[in-house]
Structures are given as C-alpha cells and as structure tokens.
C-alpha cells in the first residue's frame, strides 16, 4: 500500500502511519507541490497559505512519479487541482482540513476516489472559544471601546452591554465545533439550542434543544446570539438570509466560524445598518480564497473580521493523523471509514 503524505507531520506521526500495517509504504513529500500551487491557484490564496519563499521540490517528472504510484494520499490545503488525473492508482484521499468545500475546485470533487475529511478531529475547541469570545466582543461593547480609542473620547452612554446568563444561543451545525460552542455557552449560563442535519435522540452536552434544519427560524426567533458552525453545501448556501436575520431577537449578535458563503452578506449588512443586529464576528467571508474582504466588510463599525484564524492557538488539539490511521486500518480491512464525503450531500 503506497501512501503519499503531502503534509509536514508532527514528530512521531509518520511512525504511527507506518505502524498500522506491514504492507504500508509511506513517502513523505511535504511542500513538494508548492511551486505548482503558486502558479495555478489565485495569487491571493497562494500568498495567504504559502511561505513567501516556498517554490516546491523536485521536477515535474519527479512529482508526477510520486502521484503515479500512490494508492493513498494524505494531503492538506491548497492542493494540486489536477491531483486525480495525475494519480491513476489513487483509491483514497484524506485531507487534513475539516471542510469538504475546500475540494470543490479540484478534480477530486465528484470523482471515483474515496475522499475523507478531518471533520471533528481538528482544533475544534479553540474554534469554539473564538466563537464565544467574538460574541463577547459585541455583547460587552468592546467594539465601542475600539472606536472611542480611535477618537480619543469616551462615549459612556453607548456602553449598553448584554448579559450572557439567561440568553439563548442558536448553534447552526451542532457537530464537532458546534457541540463545544453549546457546552461553553451553557457553562456561562446560556440556553443552547441548535440544528443538525440528523438530530438523533441524545442531546449534546449543554444543549436544551436540537432540531433539523427545518426548525432553524423557530430557534432563531428565541435567540439573541447565533453561531454558524455548519458545512457549506448547496442546502446551506446563504442559509443566513434576510428572513433568518429578521427572525433573530433585536440587538442580537452573530459569529461565523464556518464558511462565508453560508451568509447572505447583503442581508447581513442590511440587518447591521438597521440596528436589528448589534454585531457580526466573521472569521470567514465570501470568496476568502480569491480576494480580500470587501470595503464594506473592512470598514463597517459593527463587524469584527479576522483571516480564518479561529483554530490557531498555542495548544493543538488536531488529531487528523489519528483519524488517518483509524481510517487506514478500516480501508485495509474493507470496513466503513469515518467522514467519507457524500458528493450528493456536499460533505
């Protein structure tokens, strides 16, 4: 079993993979394709995700040879757009990121190759802490403090804070990240409700109600806060639209740690401008891999925007290699694997 790893793994992780079975032959090629990515991906995306001096390794022929013999590829993002066509023996690709939408541009999407993600095995707790912290930013009027510092004048009457205790938060996508958001929120005395595509019978820790996506508007009508944590799929594209923002309680706050396309940004800006929405914290935005945020997002006084960094902390909880090893064992044994992308569902 020839496995090609395109990631720079932590110490000891390569040995974990090789220990799964004697038949495993692991080739490490981190950063080998950076030059191709720089040439083929949008300049903005390449600049955001590659080191300034990263130009890859080996010749095109050597990189083609690596892909040609690979049965399995363990990769990250960005990745070669034409990976499938250059890997004729490829049977399975596991990507380190959790979001399936990362793969939409390449020829793996909708292909005959098994593709799995690391959903639920990433830095889910740090992302959830970001979501809660960004809600605090607006609830406690730190946005006003930032404006006052710029002007050099305090506007004390504008410091009208929201108390978390007793408020309701709607977690849209109560999965790996969302489950942590609900648990942390409940620890602050909030009532946590949320949506999942398949709610199940057991409530995640801290949640008082979980419904299918059809119940979103009803849950938003009870909520002062909303945290977007779901996958971006055709069903969730612009899920947070005019009707959804209108359903939220007045003076509410929203945070998005998923994908920008889940929000109708025009509807969000209208809700902010009208004062119905107190603030919006965005770690993502529409088209974040192709261009910077629009001027309206950059400059809006009720928006806090960061460059998709909610998972970056001094402590790493990412367990993508553990998941890869678990899936590798299942793949070799012909058993079901975790987080297999359903192309029709979009994740």
Assign 196 to helix, strand or coil: coil
Catalytic member of 224, 261, 288, 300: 288
User: For residues 279 and 139, what is the distance between their CA atoms, to the nearest angstrom?
Assistant: 8
User: For residues 92 and 90, what is the distance between their CA atoms, to the nearest angstrom?
Assistant: 6
Per DSSP, what are the bridge partners of residue 191?
A: 168
Which helix (H) or strand (E) element contains residue 113?
Answer: none
State the DSSP string of 123-179: SHHHHHHHHHHHHHHHHTTHHHHHHHHHHT---GGG------TT-EEEEESTTHHHH
User: For residues 153 and 147, what is the distance between their CA atoms, to the nearest angstrom?
Assistant: 9
Burial class (CB in 10 A: 0-12, 13-18, 19+), 206: buried
Catalytic member of 38, 63, 191, 259: 259
Q: Which residue has the tokens 């965005």?
A: 282
- Tokens found for residue 192: 């946590």
Q: Is 308 a catalytic residue?
A: yes
Long-range contacts of 146-155 (CB under 8 A, 24+ apart): 147/301
From 307, 338, 7, 10, select the one nearest 175 (Cα to Cα).
338
Distance of CA 159 to the CA centre of its chain: 32
Per DSSP, what are the bridge partners of residue 215?
A: none
What sign for the dihedral angle of Cα 225, 231, 235, 238?
positive
Assign 49 to helix, strand or coil: helix
The answer for 339, left when phi > 0, alpha when psi is -120 to 50, beta otherwise, is: left
Catalytic member of 183, 211, 276, 308: 308
- Tokens found for residue 1: 């079993």
Catalytic residues: 259, 288, 308
């Amino acid at each position: 079993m020839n496995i090609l790893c395109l990631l720079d793994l932590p110490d000891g992780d390569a040995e974990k993979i090789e220990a799964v079975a004697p038949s495993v032959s692991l080739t490490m090629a981190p950063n080998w394709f950076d030059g191709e990515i720089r040439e083929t991906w949008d300049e903005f995306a390449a600049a955001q995700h590659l080191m300034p001096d990263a130009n890859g390794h080996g010749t095109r022929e050597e990189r083609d040879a690596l892909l040609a013999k690979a049965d399995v590829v363990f990769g990250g993002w960005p990745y070669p757009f034409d990976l499938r066509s250059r890997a004729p023996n490829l049977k399975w690709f596991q990507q380190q990121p959790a979001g399936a939408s990362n793969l939409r541009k390449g020829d793996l999407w909708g292909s005959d190759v098994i593709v799995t993600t690391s959903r639920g095995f990433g830095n889910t707790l740090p992302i959830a802490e970001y979501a809660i912290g960004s809600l605090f930013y607006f609830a406690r009027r730190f946005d006003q403090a930032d404006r006052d510092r710029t002007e050099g004048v305090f506007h004390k009457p504008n410091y009208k804070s929201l108390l978390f205790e007793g408020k309701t938060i709607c977690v849209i996508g109560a999965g790996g990240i969302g489950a942590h958001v609900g648990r942390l929120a409940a620890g602050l005395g909030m009532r946590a409700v949320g949506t999942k595509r398949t709610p199940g019978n057991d409530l995640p820790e801290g949640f008082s109600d979980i419904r299918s996506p059809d119940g979103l508007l009803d849950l938003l009508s009870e909520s002062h806060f909303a945290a977007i944590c779901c996958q971006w799929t055709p069903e969730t594209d612009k899920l947070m639209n005019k009707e959804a923002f209108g359903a939220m309680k007045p003076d509410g706050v929203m945070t998005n740690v998923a994908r920008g396309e889940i929000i109708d940004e025009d509807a969000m800006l209208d809700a902010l401008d009208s004062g119905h929405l107190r603030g919006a914290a965005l770690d993502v935005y529409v088209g974040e891999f192709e261009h910077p945020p629009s001027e309206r997002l950059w400059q809006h006084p009720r928006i806090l925007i960061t460059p998709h960094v909610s998972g970056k902390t001094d402590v790493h909880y990412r367990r993508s290699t553990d998941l890869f090893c678990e899936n590798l064992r299942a793949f070799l044994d012909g058993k079901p694997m975790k987080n297999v992308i359903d192309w029709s569902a979009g994740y």
